[in-house]
Amino acid sequence: MRILLTGSSGWLGSALSPRLRVLDHDVTGLDPVPSAETRIVGSVADRDLVMRAVEENRIEAIIHSGALHKPDIEHRRKEDFVETNVRGTLNLLDAASAFGVQRFIFTSTTSLMISQTIRAGGARMAAWLTEDMSPEPRNIYGVTKLSAEHLCRLYHLQFGLPVIVLRTARFFPEADDMAHVIEQSDANTKANELLFRRLTVEDAADAHIAALEKAPQLGFDIFIISAPTPFQPDDCAALIADAPSVVARYFPDYPAVYTKKGWTMFSSIDRVYDALRARGPAGFRLQDELCRCARRACGGIRAQVFVRTARHWER
């Protein structure tokens, strides 16, 4: 399949492009930043460039993972977010409808699901987040990604374009934006987050490939893509009050491993992304170090999942 991959020089694009080529897809990377994975250097906000890229390369599928992200809020104008995240998505959708693209995968974010109320804290229960909730984005990044999701839905309804929206949890390699408050090592924080709000970039890439395959039969759908959580909705009150005790119920030996590594568990967890729906009919088969090891482990071996996760983030 001839695929246009936006954001090809980014963290996700760099992991996804080689996987697509192994599957014998012809990948045309588009990104403002040059890289080995980028054939066309430019912005999705450049309408003429997008139109030429889709037409001249006879593109059959678009994976739109390029965007301005939350860290860009500090040094980019709101207008830049609208140009790239909204107008850029519109340009790609117009090109898809004009030149007969057969499927469209849009990389969205779980960030748009976090309201200011959740962010502010003080809740008596952790928020259990599924695709059924109504998003309340709290910043320009979330607003523009939600607007782009609506455009994707519109083009499916108007033109029959198969579109899958993937609301991905955290998979970036950068340090957590709350690191100065948490006072944990980066590996410690990311291992903790795999319990409820993170996935590996490898799983993120594989989810996009699965969405590419499933798009024609699904038509339009939105999925949360996050590491499978061990928690249940009944845990939400205890996760706010005493997260370590909840984690210990699922991983009885984790305190010993954490003590040995000088790590700590979050005292409170305020949200859980439930990716169960993506593992159903969609068949995304998300598997990260944490839950894969936890499912097959027992006794003292079970807690070693955190060691393996740490090695992943320390690479």
Q: Greater confidence, 214 or 176?
A: 214
Domain boundaries, the chain: 2-186+196-225, 233-274+287-314
Q: Is the pLDDT of residue 186 over 50?
A: yes
197-223 CB burial, b ≥16 within 10 A, e <16: bbbbbbbbbbbbbbbbbbbeebebbbb
Other CB atoms closer than 10 Å to residue 47's CB: what's the count?
Answer: 16
Q: Regarding predicted confidence, which is higher, 158 or 304? A: 158
* Residue 180 pLDDT grade (very low, low, confident, very high; cuts 50, 70, 90): low
Neighbours of 21 (CB within 10 A): 13
Residue 293 has pLDDT above 50, yes or no: no
Give the per-residue pLDDT at 70: 80
**Does pLDDT of 294 surpass 90?**
no
- pLDDT tens, 93-115? 999 999 999 999 999 999 899 87
Specify the pLDDT at position 183.
75
Please identify which residue in the block is written with the tokens 């990104």.
31
| Of the listed ranges 12-26, 146-160, 290-304, the one predicted with least confidence | 290-304
Q: Given pLDDT bands bounded at 50, 70 and 90, which one contains residue 23?
A: very high
170, pLDDT greater than 60: yes
pLDDT of amino acid 298: 29
Q: Does domain 2-186+196-225 have CATH number 3.10.20.30?
A: no
According to the 3-state scheme, what is the secondary structure of the chain? CEEEEECCCCHHHHHHHHHHHHCCCEEEEEECCCCCCCCEECCCCCHHHHHHHHHHCCCCEEEECCCCCHHHHHCCCHHHHHHHHHHHHHHHHHHHHHCCCCEEEEEEEHHHHCCHHHHHCCCCCCEEECCCCCCCCCCHHHHHHHHHHHHHHHHHHHHCCCEEEEEECECCCCCCCCHHHHCCCHHHHHHHHCCCCECCHHHHHHHHHHHHHHHHHHCEEEEEECCCCCCCHHHHHHHHHHHHHHHHHHCCCHHHHHHHHCCCCCCCCCEEECCHHHHCCCCCCCCCHHHHHHHHCCHHHHCCHHHHHHHHHHC
The band of 288, judged by pLDDT with boundaries at 50, 70 and 90, is: very low
CA atoms within 13 A on the CB side of 211: 33
Tell me what the mean pLDDT of segment 138-143 comes to. 92
Average pLDDT value for residue range 131-160: 95
Per-residue pLDDT at 179: 56
**pLDDT band at residue 154, thresholds of 50, 70 and 90?**
very high
Which pLDDT tens digit goes with each residue over 213-244? 999 999 999 999 999 899 999 999 999 999 99
Residues 172-190 have a mean pLDDT of: 75
Given CA atoms 169, 167, 48, 55 in this order, what sign does their dihedral have? positive
Sequence-distant (6+) residues with CB within 8 A of 178 are none
- Evaluate if residue 287 carries a pLDDT over 90: no
Average pLDDT, the chain: 87
Of the two residues 141 and 304, the one the predictor is more confident about is: 141
pLDDT level of residue 182 (50, 70, 90 thresholds): low
Q: Reply yes or no on whether the pLDDT at 136 is more than 60.
A: yes
Contact 196/266 with Cβ under 8 angstroms?
A: no
What tokens does 87 get?
A: 């107008």
pLDDT in tens, 57-99: 999 999 999 999 887 888 899 999 999 999 999 999 999 999 9
Angstrom distance (rounded) from CA 201 to CA 289? 12
Which structure tokens are listed for 120? 């502010």
Q: What is the mean pLDDT of residues 14-26?
A: 97
Mean pLDDT of 205-212: 95
